[in-house]
Structure 1
Amino acid sequence: MHTRINWFEIPVTDMARATRFYETLFTTKLKEENMGSGTLAIFCDPKGEGVGCLMKGDNMEPTSAGTINYLDAGASLQIVLDRVAAAGGKIVLDKFTLPRDLGVIAHVLDTEGNRIGLHATN
């Protein structure tokens, strides 16, 4: 079986703070929506299609110990890493070069306490 991630949800406790963090990190605008008793801030691909979201709602609890989602940092990981502290996050795994020209990664804690991975080609 071959599979790809087709949606992700990052739990948050403070939607405004988390939205600012991710919008600052990726210099983008997230699309906010309400869903029942929860609130979403959606990441969109270049075509405007939703690919994942920040989610505030019942049973959504941020953690640094769970699954790590890697988000595309674009052409340069360092440019995104340079925004982490100013956005209120913390680098917890420094930039690391993957073998076989697979690119570079780093881990950061967002403003909610979630550990996320960042990946770029350089």
Structure 2
Amino acid sequence: MKNTIIWFEINVADLDRAKKFYDHVLQTNIRKEEMEGYPPMGIIPDEGVNGALVEDEEYEAPEHSGVMLYFDGSSGINPYLERVEESGGEVLVPRSFVNESVGYWAAFSDLDGNLLAFYEPPQ
């Protein structure tokens, strides 16, 4: 099995607002798609594990609990965290050292209160 995880979805109340946030934070261009029988989605482009923002107008994020999704921060976590704050998100845990074999991590919440993180491997 190449990847244990192959797809993820981040529920959001307002797809346009979330797209603007994630486009800036991740420095990407999320592609909006509407498919019959499915809610509006924003496909997050990637060559590895793929995922989407999924609109649910009644969505309420759990209070900083549940499964945590880690984005690739191998180019350095701090610029991502700066963009999180610039875009209205909240840094919950700043870039933090785990140990020499693991590296660094940081946690944040998006505009909908979803708990997410960045991972930066050791150099």
CA RMSD after TM alignment: 2.4
CA contact (8 A) 1:10 1:62 kept: no
Residue 11 of structure 1 deviates from its aligned partner by: 0.5
More divergent stretch after superposition (58-67 vs 8-17): 58-67
CA distance in 1: counterparts of 2:105 and 2:56, whole angstroms? 30
Confirm whether residue 38 of structure 1 aligns to residue 39 of structure 2.
yes
Question: Could you tell me how far apart the structure 2 residues matched to 1:7 and 1:60 are?
Answer: 20
TM-score, with normalisation over the residues of structure 1? 0.85
Matches within 5 A, 1:79-90: 79-90=79-90
Distance 1:59 1:105, change over 3 A: same
Moved over 6 A (4+): none
Q: What one-letter code is carried by the residue in structure 2 that aligns with 1:101?
A: S
User: What percent of counterpart residues are identical?
Assistant: 28
Structure 2 gaps, min length 5: none
Gapped regions of structure 1 (runs ≥ 5): none
2:118 is matched with 118
Q: TM-score, normalised by structure 2?
A: 0.84
**Contact 1:89–1:111 (Cα < 8 Å) also in 2:** yes
Aligned residues: 120
